[in-house]
Chain A
Amino acid sequence: MFKKNSPESCVITFSAVYHALKAEKHFKGLGFKVKLIPVPRQISSNCGIALEFNFRDRERLAAVIQGARLAIENIYPLFKIL
């Protein structure tokens, strides 16, 4: 039986590769642990790469996005299927 637990990570999607790399550089510069990954199959995006980060950073990260004029598409929580 499959069961969804709480989200482990989140991904940010972007309209273009440029914005994904810009966001990666910005967050890394601020000390966040982020990783560029192929867009997970359950999500649709205009761009093939997304930025994954730890779920517990989501509020601090959202605040940064607002302040930094980073062009993002969406933020999704990612659930690990057990």
Chain B
Amino acid sequence: MLTGKNKITYFDNAASSWPKPEVVYQAMDDFMRNIGGNPGRSGHRVSIAAARIIFEARESLAGLFGLADSSRIIFTANATEALNLAIKGALKKGGQVITSGFEHNSVMRPLRFLEQESKVQITSIGPSQDEMVDLRLLEKAITAQTKLIVSVHGSNVTGDIAPIEKISAIAKKHKIPFLVDASQTAGCMPIDLSRLEIDMLAFTGHKALLGPQGTGGLYIKEGIELAALKQGGTGSSSESERQPDFLPDKYESGTPNTVGIAGLGAGVKYILKTGIQEVWKKKKHLRAYLLKSLGSIDRIKIYGNLQPEGLAVVSFNLGDLSPSEIARQLSEKFAIMTRPGLHCSPLAHRTINTFPKGTLRASLSNFNTSQEIDHFIKCLKKIARNPA
């Protein structure tokens, strides 16, 4: 955190995490200043050094996700691009798609786009008494036309965790591809793809993976073939005017965001060094402390299942106050950064009955502290006492 008059309390890590570990800044600076070449295009040592940065980042991610073959991880500009690749690829011939009731617009908008073109029918499944997705209703919704099941892993609105292992068992039983949106969970929660029956998993680089904006990716299980979103130069098979059919080149045309991937790779290495179990433990501790502290405020309504197994992402409303007014006062009077509104997830807000007003969301990273939570609660209480 910054000190002195520039000190801020940054509680908007579900949008973009900040700050990053020092090694992330260093890796990006080192690439820009000392390497800078185009990865693998030219064969000289600078080009090889750039290619090695991307390769190492891919290997680190494979290590984090328990994958032996890192070529199954495709780099994209963000989770949105990864989700578009997965959704448009899997639903090329149309059909029915089943989603959770907590999907972000990065899933819903590509689906609504395909729906408008009369290609797909969308069924969204709400929560049950104790799970974020009602598994019984999910299985009942499956038809012969079901071509894809999509679920967010951790909700960017409530911080709740979807039962992806149980969903994957249903998907496998009915032989339907299963896509997971791990935007909020990759980097802070253990995800073992060698054990989980997941066909595709989209992630972003700039949240819990601690990399910069403009990075993300998609894991594609062996046997899943998608139509690439773009075609172009790959540095391989240059004599051919046709796109290569092997991974990762098939889905990675054009000069990549090497500086971004350098930062992402450093972020992932930092997480591997800390240990993902340690990261997750601290995250759950912050969640528990945040929930307990918020619970001490009068007239607060906290949304979600409030289970201990969740993210340090919490949505709430304070009496009749508008979320955007609280957020404005937190920012202007107390230098606390939160996010009000619908969090690009109107479906999730409909599911928890907070549409269209929305909620105020506080989302923490492991660089946040319990002292910052105490300060946040004190300021919220001040605003509640004196809303004008």
**B39 in contact with A17 (CB, 8 Å):** yes
Cβ-neighbour of A16 out of B42, B70, B234 (below 8 A): B234
A74 at the interface (CB under 8 A from B): no
Q: Give bound CA distance, A25 to B59, whole Å.
A: 10
Cβ-neighbour of B55 out of A21, A37, A39, A47 (below 8 A): A21
A38 at the interface (CB under 8 A from B): yes
**B236 in contact with A37 (CB, 8 Å):** no
B101 at the interface (CB under 8 A from A): no
A34 at the interface (CB under 8 A from B): no
A6 at the interface (CB under 8 A from B): no
Query: What DSSP secondary structure best describes chain A's contact surface?
Result: mixed
Closest to A49 in B: B43
**B51 in contact with A49 (CB, 8 Å):** yes
**A15 in contact with B55 (CB, 8 Å):** no
Given A46-B238, A49-B43, residue A16 in contact with residue B55 (CB < 8 A) = no
Given A15-B237, A17-B235, residue A38 in contact with residue B244 (CB < 8 A) = no
A48 at the interface (CB under 8 A from B): yes
Give B2-17 as 1s and 0s: 1 = Cβ < 8 Å from A's Cβ atoms. 0000000000000000
Query: What DSSP secondary structure best describes chain B's contact surface?
Result: loop
B95 at the interface (CB under 8 A from A): no
Cβ-neighbour of A38 out of B44, B59, B70, B248 (below 8 A): B44
Contacts of B48 in A (CB 8 A): 36, 49
What is the number of residues of chain B that contact chain A, defined by CB distance less than 8 Å? 26
Q: Give bound CA distance, A18 to B54, whole Å.
A: 9
Q: Give bound CA distance, A13 to B347, whole Å.
A: 50
Contacts of B246 in A (CB 8 A): 15-16, 71
Give A4-26 as 1s and 0s: 1 = Cβ < 8 Å from B's Cβ atoms. 00000000000111101110010
**A16 in contact with B244 (CB, 8 Å):** yes
Contacts of A48 in B (CB 8 A): 40-43, 47, 235, 238
Which B234-265 residues sit within 8 Å CB-CB of chain A? 234-239, 244, 246-249
Contacts of B70 in A (CB 8 A): 22
Given A16-B249, A18-B248, residue A38 in contact with residue B236 (CB < 8 A) = no
How far is the CB of A52 from the nearest CB of chain B, in Å? 12
**B237 in contact with A46 (CB, 8 Å):** yes
Contacts of B351 in A (CB 8 A): none
Cβ-neighbour of A15 out of B40, B59, B236 (below 8 A): B236
B52 at the interface (CB under 8 A from A): yes
B71 at the interface (CB under 8 A from A): yes
Contacts of A15 in B (CB 8 A): 236-237, 244, 246
**A47 in contact with B235 (CB, 8 Å):** yes
Apart from A16-B237, A49-B43, list 6 A-B contacts with CB within 8 A.
A17-B51, A18-B58, A18-B247, A21-B51, A38-B43, A49-B51
The interface of chain B, by Cβ under 8 A from chain A, is: 39-44, 47-48, 51-52, 55, 58-59, 70-71, 234-239, 244, 246-249
